Chain A
Amino acid sequence: MRRGFYTKLAWDSIRKNKRLYIPYLLTCIGMVMMFYIILSLSLSPLLNDMAGGRTAGIVLDLGSKVIGIFALIFLFYTNSFLIRRRKKEFGLYNILGMGKKNISRIVIWEAVIVAFISLAAGLFAGIALYKLAELGFLYVMHTEVTYAFSVSFRAVTTTLVVFAVIFLLILLHTLWQLRSANAITLLRSENAGEKPPKGNWLFGFLGLGILIFAYYTAVTIEHPLSALGTFFFAVALVIVATYLLFISGSVLLCRILQKRKSYYYKPNHFVSVSSMAYRMKRNGAGLASICILVTMVLVMISATASLNFGAEDGLRKRFPRDINIGASFASAGDMKEENLEYLRQRIVEVLDDYDAIPVNLADYRTAALTAVLSDGVVRSTGDLQYDSGLADELWQVYFIPLEDYNITAEKKLSIPEGKCAIYLTRGDYAYDTITVPNGPTIQVAEEMEACELVHDATSSIMQTMYIILPNYVECAKAFEDAGTTLWTDWEYSFDLDVPAEQKVDIGVEVRDALLAEVGETEFSFSVSLESREAQRQGFFQLYGCLFYLGIMLSLVFICAAVLIIYYKQISEGYEDQQRFEIMQKVGMTKREIRKSINSQMLTVFFLPLITAAIHLCFAFPLINKLLLLFNLDNVLLFVGTCAVSLLVFGVFYVLVYRITSNAYFKIVSGQNMQ
């Protein structure tokens, strides 16, 4: 009987607060569902049958962890909002003679009910929608595998355990909150904090300063490799700055505006500015969270979409020709024509078996080193360890024979002895000559605008100089005589006019034929062969998988943002109800009030979206650099995906605004807005 009493009270209070609880429950269900889906995908047996399935598994597993951590933080946040709203109710119970113990029992029962509904409905929805999610996954993975309806037992138990722990932590937090409050504070807590918000100069300007610094860092980043580290640093800074600015900066701005009397005491500014300060004080943290979530969604979607849709680009950039062979020789001396011809013959033998003719041939030698270019002297860094701090001064320097260049580029460039043509991937060359230590000094005859040999992804990551010259042998010898290690490579790549499957087979056979020679010849070399067609699927799958995870995480974040927005509107509705009435009595027309409230709501509502768009703009150069690491060098595509995701999200945001502001007006008009 007694137990029944508490369960009934708990159940009743959830029902009575359904305006607050239904969205909370939906979010819990959504989190459980997403967690289950991503986790079972990562554990799915179908990954084993896929090329690149293991990578996908790792990426998805990471995704499920992100969702789990996010669920913990976010459900905590929403729950604390629920408690704040309900403290009055608990205070009333307390005054009516219920001890803290009794109230705790109600709270525990509520938590049990919420956890039960969330887990049951979430798992049910997860299992029901899993097939759909799987189909979507296979679609972006460019794979067609059909599997029967399946439930992953391991995913179910993991989900149950993870979320049981999350709900338990939330419950403990709630109980702790109740314990540390007495009846009066419980009763009053809704009305507490009516103090006027004070602009905090320190935090406001700190926020602005940090933001400007973060933006500056993001915009001035030069080097893709250092971009990765900088990215996380900048993200952390931007998050901190956003919170500071929304919480303190906005109130500070209102206060500054209030000080300007000629501005403040105008009918259309007076009410807005002063109530905005209050709104921002109460909602600053919520708005900042919305802003961060929106930014994350935009960045994630536009970057992963760029990768996904630019996968073909990336593939072609990473593997410029169908078959890409690179042979490394021990020295420039070993890399002589007759040895190369010997290897060519081995390749052609295989091609002849398939009646395949190589076209679009690249056939050139390079001698390369990592160097510092000061005063036009190419100084090897020797065995210097790579240090990202040095990244901006280090150059990849390639010496390429003129005749090889002419064959590969199909050009008739003529450069006299002692001169050279150069190509730099970044900037201009500051000197007229290039000096090889203990070797010749070469005049720069021409600085090329483009170089046909440049395709390699690393060339867009490391700053690179190509030196095309007739006396290539002399230079290489000078370096080798000085004991400098040169990377002497022979690049032999071509396209084939045969079906894709044959290209894969040819790749395998050519590799086998060449590897059979390693150690058998009188010159020593090592060989690597990359076949574009063989890599195609794995390539697409990695990017597809990232895109898929981007969409799924975005869905989770969007749900979270919508919930915060909804709660914000509701709490503002309750607050504005009374204010609305007073203003009317004092002599504002309903239209004036509505206009003022509308404009405030719009400002507050779209502030996060606009800030997120600005964040995205400043993050753009940084993310673009990061995409280079993924072989994507298509700024237009990235601009496009950014614009599209911003647009789509904007429309969606307006829709959410319309729906949630309905809830707001319903509350306000509860009394006097008929």
Chain B
Amino acid sequence: MSVLQVDCLKKVYTTRFGGNKVEALKNVSFSVETGEYVAIMGESGSGKTTLLNILAALDKPTAGTVLLEGKDISKVKEADLAMFRRNNLGFVFQDFNLLDTFSIEDNIYLPLVLAGKGHHEMAERLKPIALQLGISDILKKYPYEVSGGQKQRTAVARALITNPKVILADEPTGALDSKATDELLRLFREINANGQTILMVTHSVKAASHAKRVLFIADGEVFHQIYRGENTSEQMYQKISDTLTMLATGGDGK
């Protein structure tokens, strides 16, 4: 069953005085099945971020629909959007976006507190997640006291704790060193193996090679996709590299 269904998505930006029109997304359609791990790749300016913003309901499409479990997210009322995001989506950002006024623990609790959950329930939910992500020891610390990798794992915990339908990750490895990157990608696979649907936007071949499926976006359209199938990460890496080379040399994949 597909959890996320994107149909003929189009986004046109108009400059402030209505002069130039920029077509960030021309016609994007794809769907994500429950339990999938999808990476979306593309160069800068290909429309990745625009796509993610629309999926996150932070931006509205010019045309086309996004269905989350069959519900059109562009129909959600402005006032309910924040709550909708909170209840259905989990976010992991490139720059972590942790609040320095909160301890690690409180940062993770934030969405639950906003949803009005009781303290005991929050603590119960946090326990297994913190264990899995290896952050049980640093819960009382503050963001400024921990490493980048730990910050990102905190952000993952914050995304997971609401049991979201989809986790949207925007360049999650962008600000990490290679060791922390490997660790995070391993965790993503593990989480995915537990049944969590993940949609990741990245331009890192290494990050994408861990996904079950990779979509390539170029010039506002889905250009190509690769399924992992029985391939190892290394083979995946090679395939993605080839595709990117083909894209860069201007070959026409269709």
Tell me the A residues contacting B by CB distance below 8 Å. Answer: 194-196, 261-262, 265-267, 270, 274-275, 277-278, 579, 582-592
Write out the residue numbers on chain A whose beta carbons fall within 8 Å of the beta carbon of B142: 195-196
Is B1 interfacial (CB 8 A cutoff)? no
Contact B144 A195 (CB under 8 A): yes
Contact A579 B101 (CB under 8 A): yes
Write out the residue numbers on chain B whose beta carbons fall within 8 Å of the beta carbon of A587: 82-83, 85-86, 111, 114
Q: Find the B residue at minimum CB distance from A579.
A: B99
Tell me the B residues contacting A by CB distance below 8 Å. Answer: 58, 79, 81-83, 85-86, 91, 93, 97-103, 106, 109-111, 113-114, 116, 118-119, 122, 142, 144, 158
Contact B93 A270 (CB under 8 A): no
The DSSP consensus for interface residues of chain A is helix
For the complex formed, measure the closest distance between the CB of A137 and the CB atoms of chain B, giving whole angstroms. Answer: 51
Write out the residue numbers on chain B whose beta carbons fall within 8 Å of the beta carbon of A275: 101
> Which of B82, B113, B118 meets A270, CB within 8 Å?
B113
Write out the residue numbers on chain B whose beta carbons fall within 8 Å of the beta carbon of A278: 101
The DSSP consensus for interface residues of chain B is helix
Q: How many angstroms from the CA of A292 to the CA of B122 in the assembled complex?
A: 43
Contact B158 A586 (CB under 8 A): yes
Q: How many angstroms from the CA of A585 to the CA of B97 in the assembled complex?
A: 8
Known: A194-B144, A589-B82. A270 touches B99 (CB 8 A): no
Write out the residue numbers on chain B whose beta carbons fall within 8 Å of the beta carbon of A194: 100, 144
Known: A265-B119, A265-B122, A586-B91. A274 touches B82 (CB 8 A): no
Q: How many angstroms from the CA of A195 to the CA of B158 in the assembled complex?
A: 21
Q: How many angstroms from the CA of A411 to the CA of B16 in the assembled complex?
A: 93
Known: A196-B103, A265-B109, A267-B113. A589 touches B79 (CB 8 A): yes
> Which of B83, B103, B111, B116 meets A586, CB within 8 Å?
B111
Most buried by B among A194, A277, A278: A194
For the complex formed, measure the closest distance between the CB of A497 and the CB atoms of chain B, giving whole angstroms. Answer: 76
> Which of B101, B111, B116 meets A274, CB within 8 Å?
B101
Contact B114 A588 (CB under 8 A): yes
Write out the residue numbers on chain A whose beta carbons fall within 8 Å of the beta carbon of B97: 582, 585-586
Q: How many angstroms from the CA of A540 to the CA of B117 in the assembled complex?
A: 67
Contact A277 B119 (CB under 8 A): no
Given contacts A262-B119, A277-B101, A579-B101, 7 further A-B contacts (CB under 8 A): A196-B142, A265-B119, A265-B122, A278-B101, A579-B99, A585-B97, A586-B91
Write out the residue numbers on chain A whose beta carbons fall within 8 Å of the beta carbon of B101: 196, 274-275, 277-278, 579
Q: How many angstroms from the CA of A197 to the CA of B119 in the assembled complex?
A: 23
Q: Find the A residue at minimum CB distance from B120.
A: A261
> Which of A265, A585, A591 meets B113, CB within 8 Å?
A265
> Which of B93, B106, B119, B122 meets A585, CB within 8 Å?
B93
A-B pairs, 6 with minimum CB distance:
A587-B86, A589-B82, A582-B97, A270-B113, A265-B119, A261-B119
Most buried by B among A195, A266, A270, A586: A586
Write out the residue numbers on chain B whose beta carbons fall within 8 Å of the beta carbon of A277: 101
Q: How many angstroms from the CA of A591 to the CA of B122 in the assembled complex?
A: 24
Write out the residue numbers on chain B whose beta carbons fall within 8 Å of the beta carbon of A591: 79
For the complex formed, measure the closest distance between the CB of A255 and the CB atoms of chain B, giving whole angstroms. Answer: 12
Q: How many angstroms from the CA of A265 to the CA of B120 in the assembled complex?
A: 10
Contact A585 B109 (CB under 8 A): no
Q: How many angstroms from the CA of A602 to the CA of B106 in the assembled complex?
A: 24
For the complex formed, measure the closest distance between the CB of B8 and the CB atoms of chain A, giving whole angstroms. Answer: 27
